[in-house]
């Protein structure tokens, strides 16, 4: 076999292996539904539970890096504390050992039939569950087929003196082995992929056990690069999460190097007892190392959190999410109390929506990266709260509620959606400004001029301020049952509509005079439309506060204050 064929077989086999691993993970994830983030959100109250959550999610998605990225995202969004995330990362290190055990099962000869079964389920069934199972089976088969190809491609390496010398050197110098494992995992971007290659080399007898184990330990360091990449540009808390991942794996690796001799002897000793084949030897060593590492370091999570806080200075994330409001245990026992808790959650959601709007407004004025990042981060939080709150309210809806509570429940369902849509409109405006800013920079570069301020217009700024006041007052009117604030929102809406119409006319006149680009005009009008819709949603919230949102809410059932405010607004 020539060198080109070896490279092609190895590279192709690696590609098929990684594809199979991801495809299988995606199938498992589809089977699990949308529960992955929920598992991490709800099962991390103690270090033990956080570790278990990390194990479960990693097994489901077959990627410790994916679990780590999820944890970084949740910390960045304020849904998880640093200590919880450290526990999840520890669990992910145990969960990823499952892949090595799967590879240790010697079924490579049946890889193609397994893929055939998976393909059959994928393409000859319309059932979503059957398709997901087919995806898992196909990915499982592809994983082993990729290993077989890699093995065939690597087999002739034993004839290369330089390769043989490297394998011997790694046995004599564990630090070199750790370095090789780290670099290779960093290049492949998959700890499971690099372990699979190591298992194949060891099973072919191309590397001894005392050279394979240091490479295996280096794998744990190389896999931290994914967390580092996920934390770039993220919050301080997310950077600390990535740093904790690096420290945890570094400490574990260098600790085991101190006892590498006894550890190797232990693996050799248990091999005949459990009749382990070479790939399974590597899997057991990997599992034993990670489980022991977690069992020792889990007692020092608090200290690890303090260390990374000093290493990565700065204020914590913009977002501090209070997850205590939605207590699912009280829904069946005291649904009326659960409804009050839902109202507190709506208040928190409203605060985040308002904060998102303010950050978006800052981005309009400055086009700075911080405001851009904060807006997107807050939008993710608003969407998460929307899903959690909607689920909570749906569970309350099946309980027996008094008429008044039932009406309030319907209001909360509506208001949750209005708030979520206001957040969506903030994101829409953000994207419009980004697009306009990009075009402005290109134009300035061509003309060698300084970029102008995007869509600067005094009336538009006034509209921004009016809509912000409407959002703030509408949320407060509902959470504090304030009829006066609700009335102000409804009155202010007339000014919003008038200003929106004036801005449209003025900008159309500018375009008719040939001032500005038509593409800018479309984006500008879209911004104004989004602001007007945000104000409309605020008015709907205010009308819910007054009890006049729908025609079926009769005058006799409305508060006297509401009837007076409505009469005033209709005469103006």
The whole-model pTM stands at 0.69
- In this prediction, residue 531 has a pLDDT band, given cuts at 50, 70 and 90, of very high
Cα separation of 77 and 81, whole Å? 10
Cα separation of 499 and 492, whole Å? 11
pLDDT recorded at residue 514: 65
C-beta separation of 533 from 490 below 8 A: no
pLDDT surpasses 80 at 235: no
Residue ranges of alpha helices (H) inside 259-368 are: 260-274, 278-297, 301-311, 335-366
CA of 536: how far to CAs of 421, 548, 572, in Å? 11, 14, 18
Any residues with CB less than 8 A from the CB of 121 and at least 6 apart, and which? Answer: 130, 131, 133, 134, 137, 138
pLDDT recorded at residue 571: 43
Q: What is the percent of the chain with per-residue pLDDT over 90, rounded to a whole number?
A: 38
Higher pLDDT, 122 or 61: 122
- Provide the 10 A C-beta neighbour count for residue 401: 17
The single residue listed with the structure tokens 């809410």 is 553
C-beta separation of 10 from 154 below 8 A: yes
- In this prediction, residue 332 has a pLDDT band, given cuts at 50, 70 and 90, of confident
- Provide the 10 A C-beta neighbour count for residue 343: 15
pLDDT surpasses 70 at 559: no
């Amino acid at each position: 076999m020539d060198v080109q064929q070896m490279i092609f077989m190895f590279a192709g086999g690696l590609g098929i292996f990684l594809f199979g691993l991801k495809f299988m993970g995606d199938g498992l994830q589809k089977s699990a539904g949308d529960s992955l983030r929920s598992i991490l959100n709800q099962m991390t109250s103690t270090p033990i539970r956080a570790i278990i959550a990390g194990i479960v999610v990693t097994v489901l998605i077959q990627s410790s890096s994916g679990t780590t990225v999820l944890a970084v995202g949740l910390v960045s969004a304020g849904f998880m504390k640093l200590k919880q995330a450290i526990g999840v990362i520890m669990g992910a290190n145990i969960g990823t050992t499952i892949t090595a055990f799967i590879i240790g099962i010697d079924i490579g000869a049946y890889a193609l039939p397994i893929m055939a079964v998976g393909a059959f389920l994928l393409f000859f069934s319309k059932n979503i569950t059957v398709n997901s199972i087919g995806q898992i089976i196909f990915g499982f088969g592809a994983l082993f087929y990729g290993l077989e190809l890699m093995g065939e491609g690597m087999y002739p390496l034993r004839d290369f003196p330089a390769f043989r010398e490297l394998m011997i050197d790694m046995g004599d110098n564990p630090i070199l082995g750790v370095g090789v494992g780290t670099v290779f995992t960093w290049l492949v971007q998959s700890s499971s992929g690099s372990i699979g290659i190591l298992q194949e080399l060891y099973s072919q007898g191309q590397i001894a056990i005392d050279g394979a184990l240091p490479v295996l330990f280096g794998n744990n360091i190389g896999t931290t690069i994914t967390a580092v990449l996920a934390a770039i540009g993220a919050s301080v808390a997310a950077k600390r999460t990535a740093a904790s991942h690096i420290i945890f794996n570094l400490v574990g690796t260098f600790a085991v190097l101190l006892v590498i001799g006894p550890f190797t002897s232990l693996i050799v000793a248990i091999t005949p007892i459990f009749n382990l084949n070479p790939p399974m030897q590597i899997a057991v060593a990997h599992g034993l190392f990670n489980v022991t590492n977690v069992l020792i370091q889990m007692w020092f999570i608090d200290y690890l959190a303090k260390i990374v806080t000093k290493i990565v200075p700065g204020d914590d994330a913009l977002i501090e999410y209070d997850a205590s409001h939605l207590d699912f245990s009280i829904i069946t026992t005291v649904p009326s109390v659960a409804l009050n808790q839902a109202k507190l959650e709506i208040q928190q959601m409203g605060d985040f929506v308002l904060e998102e709007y303010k950050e978006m407004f800052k981005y309009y004025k400055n086009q700075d990266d911080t405001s851009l990042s904060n807006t997107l981060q807050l939008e993710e939080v608003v969407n998460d709260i929307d899903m959690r709150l909607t689920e909570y309210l749906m569970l309350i809806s099946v309980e027996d509620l008094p008429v008044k509570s039932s009406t309030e429940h319907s209001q909360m369902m509506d208001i949750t959606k209005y708030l979520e849509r206001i957040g969506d409109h903030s994101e829409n405006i953000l994207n419009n400004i980004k697009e306009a800013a990009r075009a402005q920079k290109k134009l300035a570069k061509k003309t060698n001029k300084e970029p102008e301020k995007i869509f600067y217009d005094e009336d538009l700024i006034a509209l921004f301020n009016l809509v912000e006041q409407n959002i703030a007052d509408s949320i407060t009117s509902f959470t504090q049952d304030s009829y006066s604030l609700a009335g102000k929102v409804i009155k202010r809406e007339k000014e919003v509509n008038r200003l929106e119409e004036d801005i449209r006319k003025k900008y159309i006149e500018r375009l008719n005079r040939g001032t500005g680009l038509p593409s800018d005009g479309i984006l500008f009008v879209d911004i104004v439309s989004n602001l007007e819709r945000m104000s409309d949603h605020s008015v709907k919230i205010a009308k819910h506060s007054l009890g006049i949102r729908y025609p079926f809410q009769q005058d006799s059932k409305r508060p006297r204050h509401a009837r007076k405010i409505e009469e005033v607004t209709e005469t103006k």
